[in-house]
Structure formats: structure tokens, C-alpha cells
Amino acid sequence: MIQTPIQTITLEEFLKLPETKPASEYIEGQIIQKPMPQGHHSTIQVELTETINAIVKKQRIARAYTELRCVVGGRAIVPDVTVFAWERIPVDENGNVANVFNIAPDWIIEILSPEQSPIKVIGKILYALNHGSKMGWLIDPETKSILVYLPQQQSQLLESENSILPVPDLVKDLQLTVGDIFAWLKHHPNN
């Protein structure tokens, strides 16, 4: 994460600033720009979002989003993947998905990039759990491991390819192993 050399500002001031690419987050008065996603990160992010939505979106159970800003408890975070129960998705006066999500996601997923501080990313997951998220994942493509976080419980480190990943009840039909996640990184030119 790249720290922008800007003096402390308020959340309201931050939310009025133009969007950046990659996205910037507001954490404890500081603006922190996320790193530009690279191949491993982007591949896992897209595949995971599509896989989750294929199971829950059509049935209107939940919906997965990428890079969605969530304004929660005085912070503006932009997780790599968020999943919201269908009935919790904010809507505007026209019944469309709202532009502003002022709630924590049900499930927060972060994919570690090489230049990111694992502690800062874990801190974001823990913050979301303390503000209503039911589960968090930290996916590390480099070590091919996944840390699973639940509120008020010890985290689980899953490294075995055959380890079945726990998922929130809202996506209970989703069955993935650690190996499934990292198999998405294999490039097969004829497929």
C-alpha cells in the first residue's frame, strides 16, 4: 500500500475527492492508495467473484463485488472482493443498487500483493469483522495459502491443496479447496 503524503483529513473530505486508479482507502485520517493489481491478484479476484456470483446471484441469495468502496465506522475501505446478502445490498430511491455502501460486507476477501503489508491487510479484515462482517479471507498467492477469519474466533491457516475452504452460510453451496483457488493461476493455452 502506498501512503499518500497528505495531511490528515476527515472522512467527509476524503469522500469528496476524485477517485483514483487504483482505488484509495481512508484509514484513521490517512489516504492509502492500494497497489495496482498484477496477474495473480487479478486472476484470482475475477475468477472468485464469477464463481461466487454463479452460485448465488441468479437465486438472489447474495452478490459478489470487486473493488467496492464500503464506508464503515469512520473508514472507507475497498476490499478486493466483497459479498453481500441480497437483502442487505443498499438501493437508491429508484430501486437500483446504490452507489454508496455504508455497511460492512457479509464476507470480505483480500488477495495479498507482493508490495502490500500483510499486517495492514489483516487489520482491514479484522476491522470489517468488528463492524459486522461474518467472515474474512486473506489469500496469499506467493505462499499458496489462505487465512480464514471469523468474528471472535482464532483464525485458520489453510495450506494443503485438498483443504476445503469454509464459507459463510449465505454461500453454503460454494465448495472450493485451496487447490481450486490457485489452479486458476495455471495458464492452459488451449483452454
Give pLDDT, residue 170. Answer: 93
Alpha-carbon distance 12 to 24, whole Å? 14
Q: Which residue has the cell 487489520?
A: 123
Tell me the per-residue pLDDT of 93-121, one tens digit each, with 9 for 90 and over: 999 999 989 999 999 999 999 888 899 99
For residue 84, what is its C-alpha cell? 453481500
Q: Which residue has the cell 496477474?
A: 39
Tell me the per-residue pLDDT of 1-12, one tens digit each, with 9 for 90 and over: 555 554 678 888
Per-residue pLDDT band at 191 (split at 50, 70, 90): low
Give pLDDT, residue 49. Answer: 98
20 vs 136, higher pLDDT: 136
Q: What is the mean pLDDT of residues 134-155?
A: 96
Residue 187 in this model has a pLDDT that exceeds 90: no
Alpha-carbon distance 88 to 62, whole Å? 9
3-state secondary structure of 180: helix
Tell me the per-residue pLDDT of 7-55, one tens digit each, with 9 for 90 and over: 678 888 888 888 888 888 888 888 888 887 788 999 999 999 999 999 9
For the chain, helix, strand, coil in percent to 5 are: 25, 25, 50
Give pLDDT, residue 5. Answer: 53
**pTM of the full predicted structure?**
0.89
Alpha-carbon distance 33 to 24, whole Å? 4
Alpha-carbon distance 96 to 73, whole Å? 24
73 exposed, middle or buried (CB, 10 Å; 0-12, 13-18, 19+)? middle
Alpha-carbon distance 161 to 38, whole Å? 23
Cβ atoms of residues 33 and 4 within 8 Å: yes
Residue 117 CB neighbour total at 10 angstroms: 11
Domains of the chain: 36-183 (3.90.1570.10)
- The DSSP annotation for 118-175 comes to HHHHHHHHHHHHHTT-SEEEEEETTTTEEEEE-TTS--EEE-STTPBPP--GGGTT--
